[in-house]
Structure 1
Amino acid sequence: MRGKRVRARVVDPDVSRLFSPITVRGLTLPNRAWVSPMCQYSASDGVPNDWHLVHLGQFAAGGAGLVMTEATAVTSEGRISPQDTGIWTDAQAEAWRRIVGFVHGQGTAIGMQLAHAGRKASTRRPWEGTGSVPPEDGGWESVGPSATAFGEYATPRTLTTDEVSALPQAFATAAEKAQDVGFDVLELHFAHGYLVHQFLSPLSNSRTDRYGGDFEGRTRLALEIADAVRATTPLPLFARLSATDWTDGGWTVDESVRLAKLLAERGIDLIDTSSGGNTPHPDIPVGPGYQVPFAERIRTEAGLPTGAVGMITNPQQAEDIVAGGEADAVFLARALLRDPHWPLRAANALGAEVRWPNQYARAKSWH
């Protein structure tokens, strides 16, 4: 049964829009400055550890309205690197429970991004070089919609039709585990050149079965995953999309708008709007807020709430994005790595109120 679509709504508009609450499918988040998923490449056998507790916990103490985990694999072979986190075993789920409990203890919501890396799996951690990790070094054979490699990575094995048909259940099982642990939000990772994005884009999908070919075929897996996860959980459900491949012949913004409408019909509550990742060296005009127009277009044309990402660093910049109706929230990444308490500082700069941890209350005055 498909979940009922519930749009995000402003609860109290008489404050900074960035620091006004927003309710998504019954979950009220205190502000719209959210933590973007950021891979840490620091787990063992998919199990998060003290690094993840401190990494995510600092953002909860720092005033973020929603803390998102890194891309968390729904199967062992779905990890980006051998050191990525997972949610396919009970041991992994139990390790996440401690982190969820700490974040909740700060009065903050936490979400999990569910992912499968596809042909970009079994790769080296960024600080250990580039390329694929071979099986003899702890890696594995990657898989994808077609036997087309990403740049210098190993050529993936083409998934059979039956294997593709089984993927929605893997996402649904992971979603059930995440819900049982206590996560408040789930996000489906359909972006950045990972498995589902590989199916969406003609540049990486040359299949001739029902999961390839035209728009309907290439989007079938994404929609089946959305259906399976929504049937499993009533939690708010986001989807991260790469709005464009930035490459001729690839996935386009028009297709993203079209897909967003279909995802909305299946109970997706918000589109976390990014771009790129499916070709090694696209020509991207990077600059402050360069991806915000994609969030605005999907929000306007698909009628679905969106989150904006990409070089959002300044409090006024973030405020203007939300207040101007370009997006309903901003996902922050590198700005938070530089300053985990960015939301506390931003609230002060914008004249807004935000919850401070009792232990930090003595620093609330900026004079």
Structure 2
Amino acid sequence: MSALFEPLQLRSVTLPNRIVLSPMCQYSAIDGVPNNWHRIHLGRYATAGLGLIMAEATHVNAGGRITPGCLGLYNAVQEAAFGAIAADVKQFGPTPFAIQLAHAGRKASADLPWRGGHSLQGPQAWLTVAPSAIPHDAGWHIPQELDDEGLDAVKRDFVSAAGRADRAGVDLIELHGAHGYLFHQFISPISNKRTDRYGGNAENRMRFPLEVFEAVRAVWPKHKPLGMRITGSDWVAGEGLEIDDAIAFAARLKELGADFVDVSSGGVSPKQKIATGPGYQVHFAAAVKKATGIVTMTVGLITEPQQAEAIVKEGKADLVAMARGLLNDPYWAWRAADALHGEVHVAPQYLRGRARGVDTPREIVLKAVR
């Protein structure tokens, strides 16, 4: 039995295997509303045999969007559009549909990446907020430091977005606490220079993300899983977060009812020095899993079936998230199932494409029907 193709139960949600479509920003929304591009992008994975399909970073208010092209879930039009996509995805296979809820903090109000991704200037720009009034980089806008009223508003927006996600038919939520966005900005000493109860020591810096998680968990249905993407390292030696910080944060999340953590890294500082390579973030997930026992997801340059199999089989992570690999080969799970002798869901319309060995396409179809 392939470990990669074993189902995983998270509360009432069954993931048919351990392969996850990682959230990938498409920067193609208009006023935060998913459109035909998102329906095609996400819909093509409905029959790909994955364990979980996760929509890209979806922002809880307009000011929290990374770019003007980013998705949102803060009004009824957006909610209805997500509901249509969720229905499409779940109509044609057993793969649950997830969403990543986010707020970009000081990294908001940026241009589209194919236009350079720099801080917007002039009438297109909007006010951004952050733990401290420190710009992300030289040439970036100075964010407004969040006061108590602003913190409460952000928390309410996350709670509201979770309610909309539930009504839209979303099965699982991941809160975005990495990549230099708002929650990560609070946790990292690089971006958080506050002197109140939300700044200073590690316990204080974790406080606001944990408060938001707890508030969302309180309204998100008990039978549905909730987790967070967290940071394994800021990759800024001597200044930023390291793996012990990730372990401490994951342990607190677990106490509050988190069902999983998705361990990534970097993004909070232009000073980062990232050592990339195949599976370069797996050791972060492995350390968190070993120390806390929480279900972990890993991501980053995982491209080959045997590589993904070893990660799960050796207990380094429970789930393997893929982005570029699934963009290059949407039916990667089929290839992995062939290589690892795993079982994967295939829609009857596509069964002819699964003919192997001595079986003819007709025999494959007849076996499935029987």
**Given the two structures, how large is their TM-score scaled by the length of structure 2?**
0.93
2:254 aligns with 264
CA distance in 2, matches of 1:284, 1:95: 37
If you compute each CA radius of gyration, which structure gives the higher value, 1 or 2? 2
Q: Which moved more, 1:111-120 or 1:158-167?
A: 158-167
**How far does the alpha carbon of each residue in 1:128-170 deviate from its partner, in whole angstroms, 9 at most, with x for none?**
1131123512x31111111111124222111112211332221
Indicate the SS of the match to 1:101: helix
SS in 2 for 1:60: coil
Checking the alignment, whether the CA contact within 8 Å between 1:273 and 1:307 is kept in structure 2 is yes
In structure 2, the partner of 1:197 is: 184
Which secondary structure state, in structure 2, belongs to the residue aligned with residue 356 of structure 1?
Answer: coil
Residue by residue over 1:161-218, the C-alpha shift from the partner in whole angstroms, topping out at 9 and shown as x without a partner, is 2211332221111001101110000001000000010000010001111111111210
The reply to whether residue 142 of structure 1 matches residue 119 of structure 2 is no
Taking the aligned partners of 2:36 and 2:62, their CA distance within structure 1 comes to 21
1:339 aligned to 2:355? no
Any unmatched runs of 5+ in structure 1? Answer: 1-14
**Which residue identity lines up with residue 240 of structure 1 in the other structure?**
R
Could you give the per-residue CA deviations for residues 62-119 of structure 1, whole angstroms, max 9, x where no partner exists?
Answer: 1111000100000110101011000000110001111101110122211010000000
Match of 2:315 in 1: 325
Question: What's the CA shift string for 1:268-305, capped at 9, x where partnerless?
Answer: 10010101110114111100001000001100101101
Cα deviations by residue, 1:15-73 (Å, 9 ceiling, x for unpaired): 21101100011211100001101000000000000100111111222111100010000
| Change in CA separation of 1:281 and 1:360 when aligned onto 2, cut-off 3 Å | farther
Aligned partner (choices 213, 232, 244) of residue 254 of structure 1: 244
Of 122, 126, 135, the residue aligned with 2:109 is 122
Residues in 1 aligned to 2:162 and 2:356: alpha-carbon distance in whole angstroms: 42
Q: Which residue is equivalent to 1:87? A: 73
The equivalent of 2:345 in structure 1 is: 355
Aligned pairs for 1:255-334 (under 5 A) are: 255-334=245-324
Instruction: From the superposition, tell whether residues 135 and 179 of structure 1 become closer, same or farther in structure 2 (CA, over 3 Å).
Output: farther
For residues 155 and 17 of structure 2, the distance between their equivalents in structure 1, rounded to whole angstroms, comes to: 32
SS in 2 for 1:166: helix
Say yes or no: does 1:32 pair with 2:12.
no
AA in 1 matched with 2:336: A
Tell me, yes or no, if the aligned pair for 2:83 and 2:167 is still in contact at 8 Å.
no
User: More deviation in 241-250 or 268-277?
Assistant: 241-250
CA distance in 1, matches of 2:250, 2:284: 12
Counterpart secondary structure, 1:290: coil
More deviation, 172-181/56-65: 56-65
d(CA) in 2 for partners of 1:96, 1:355: 24
Letter of the 1:241 counterpart: I
Secondary structure of the residue that 1:340 maps to in structure 2? coil
Query: 142, 161, 180: which is aligned to 1:174?
Result: 161
Distance between the aligned counterparts of 1:183 and 1:227, measured in 2? 19
- Indicate if the aligned counterparts of 2:86 and 2:169 stay in contact, CA closer than 8 A: yes
Within the alignment, does 1:16 sit opposite 2:17 as a pair? no
Amino acid at match of 1:297: A
CA distance in 2, matches of 1:39, 1:280: 20
Paired with 1:135 and 1:214, the residues of 2 have a C-alpha distance of 37
Q: Shift of the alpha carbon at 1:238?
A: 1.4
Are the aligned partners of 1:161 and 1:209 in contact in 2 as well (CA < 8 Å)? no
Give, in whole Å, the separation in 1 of the partners of 2:153 and 2:35: 29
Which runs of structure 2 are paired with 1:191-230 in the superposition (5 Å)?
191-230=178-217
Tell me the residue number matched to 1:6.
none
Distance 2:149 2:186 in 1: 15
Q: Distance in 1 between matches of 2:171 and 2:334?
A: 22
Aligned residue pair count: 352
Q: Does 1:237 align with 2:223?
A: no
Instruction: Name the Cα RMSD after superposition.
Output: 1.0
Question: What pairs up with 1:40-55 in 2 under 5 angstroms?
Answer: 40-55=26-41
Please, which of 56, 78, 98 is the counterpart of residue 64 of structure 2? 78
Q: For the residues of structure 2 that align with 1:317 and 1:58, how far apart are their CA atoms?
A: 24
Query: Is the contact between residue 73 and residue 85 of structure 1 (CA under 8 Å) also seen in structure 2?
Result: yes
Alignment-mate amino acid for residue 204 of structure 2? G
Q: Does the aligned pair in 2 maintain the 1:135–1:141 contact within 8 Å?
A: no
Letter in 1 for 2:84: R
